[in-house]
Structure 1
Amino acid sequence: MKEIDFYRHYLINEESLSKNSVEAYVRDLKGYVEFVKRNKIKYDSVESILSYIKELLSKKYAVETVLRKLSSLSSFFDFLIKEKKIDKNPIVLLDKPKKWFKLPEFLTEDEVKRIFDTVDTSTAVGLRDKVILKLLYSSGVRVSELINIKVSDCDFKRGVIKVKGKGNKERFVPIHKNLIEILENYLHIRHNYLVKGRDEGYLFLNKNGKKLSRVYCWNIVKKYAEKADIKKNISPHSFRHSFATHLLANGADLRIIQLLLGHASISTTEIYTQVADDKMRESLLNYHPRFKR
Structure 2
Amino acid sequence: MIGLPVEETAWPGILREYLVFLRAEKGLAPRSVESYSRDLRRWAEFMARCGRSSPQEVEREDITSFLEELRGRGLSSRSLARVTASLRGLSRFMVEEGIIDRYLGYDLPSPRHPRKLPRILSQDEVGKLLDQPIPEDPRGLRDKAMLEILYGTGIRISEMTGLDLEDLDLDEGEVRVLGKGSRERVVPVGGAASQALREYLNTGRPRLAKHPRQRAVFLNQRGGRLTRQGAWEIVKKYASRVGLRDMMTPHTLRHSCATHLLENGADLRYIQELLGHASISTTQVYTHVSMREIKRRYLEAHPRA
Check whether TM > 0.5. Answer: yes
Q: Tell me how far apart the structure 1 counterparts of residues 279 and 42 of structure 2 sit (CA, whole Å).
A: 27
1:228 is aligned with what amino acid? Answer: V
Query: Following TM superposition, by how much is the alpha carbon of 1:88 offset from its aligned partner in structure 2, in angstroms?
Result: 6.3
Query: Following TM superposition, by how much is the alpha carbon of 1:209 offset from its aligned partner in structure 2, in angstroms?
Result: 1.3
Q: 1:51 aligns with which of 48, 52, 68?
A: 68
Q: Is the 8 A contact 1:139 1:173 kept in 2?
A: yes
- Assess, with a 3 A threshold, how the Cα gap between structure 1 residues 77 and 275 changes in structure 2: closer, same or farther: farther
Query: Following TM superposition, by how much is the alpha carbon of 1:182 offset from its aligned partner in structure 2, in angstroms?
Result: 2.2
Q: 1:124 aligns with which of 138, 147, 171?
A: 138
**More deviation in 189-198 or 120-129?**
189-198
Q: Tell me how far apart the structure 2 counterparts of residues 73 and 257 of structure 1 sit (CA, whole Å).
A: 33
Q: Tell me how far apart the structure 1 counterparts of residues 232 and 146 of structure 2 sit (CA, whole Å).
A: 11
Query: Following TM superposition, by how much is the alpha carbon of 1:10 offset from its aligned partner in structure 2, in angstroms?
Result: 5.1
| 5+ residue gaps, structure 2 | 1-10, 52-57
Secondary structure of the 2:116 match is coil
Q: Report which of the two structures shows the higher radius of gyration computed on alpha carbons.
A: 2
In the alignment, what sits opposite 2:225? 211
**Map 1:267-278 → 2, pairs under 5 A:** 267-278=281-292
- Assess, with a 3 A threshold, how the Cα gap between structure 1 residues 14 and 211 changes in structure 2: closer, same or farther: closer
Q: Tell me how far apart the structure 1 counterparts of residues 125 and 85 of structure 2 sit (CA, whole Å).
A: 33
Q: Is the 8 A contact 2:141 2:204 kept in 1?
A: no
**More deviation in 258-267 or 280-289?**
280-289
Query: Following TM superposition, by how much is the alpha carbon of 1:181 offset from its aligned partner in structure 2, in angstroms?
Result: 2.2
In the alignment, what sits opposite 2:178? 164
- Assess, with a 3 A threshold, how the Cα gap between structure 1 residues 132 and 68 changes in structure 2: closer, same or farther: farther
In the alignment, what sits opposite 2:102? 85
What are the superposed Cα offsets for residues 42-72 of structure 1, whole Å, 9 maximum, x if unpaired?
4577734651441352xxx566544443443
In the alignment, what sits opposite 2:54? none
Query: Following TM superposition, by how much is the alpha carbon of 1:157 offset from its aligned partner in structure 2, in angstroms?
Result: 2.8
In the alignment, what sits opposite 1:142? 156
Q: 2:118 aligns with which of 100, 104, 113?
A: 104
Kindly indicate whether residue 251 of structure 2 is the aligned counterpart of residue 237 of structure 1: yes
Q: Is the 8 A contact 1:42 1:48 kept in 2?
A: no
Secondary structure of the 2:112 match is coil
Q: Tell me how far apart the structure 2 counterparts of residues 71 and 135 of structure 1 sit (CA, whole Å).
A: 33
1:270 is aligned with what amino acid? Answer: Q
What are the superposed Cα offsets for residues 105-130 of structure 1, whole Å, 9 maximum, x if unpaired?
22111111011122211222111101
Q: Tell me how far apart the structure 1 counterparts of residues 46 and 265 of structure 2 sit (CA, whole Å).
A: 46
State the TM-score, normalizing by the size of structure 2. Answer: 0.78
Q: Tell me how far apart the structure 1 counterparts of residues 70 and 139 of structure 2 sit (CA, whole Å).
A: 45
In the alignment, what sits opposite 1:279? 293
| 5+ residue gaps, structure 1 | none
Query: Following TM superposition, by how much is the alpha carbon of 1:196 offset from its aligned partner in structure 2, in angstroms?
Result: 1.8
Secondary structure of the 1:236 match is coil
Q: Is the 8 A contact 1:81 1:89 kept in 2?
A: no
- Assess, with a 3 A threshold, how the Cα gap between structure 1 residues 191 and 159 changes in structure 2: closer, same or farther: same
In the alignment, what sits opposite 1:22? 33
State the TM-score, normalizing by the size of structure 1. Answer: 0.81
**More deviation in 117-126 or 146-155?**
117-126
**More deviation in 164-173 or 61-70?**
61-70
Query: How many residues are treated as equivalent by the alignment?
Result: 285
Secondary structure of the 1:171 match is strand
What are the superposed Cα offsets for residues 152-175 of structure 1, whole Å, 9 maximum, x if unpaired?
110123221112222322221211
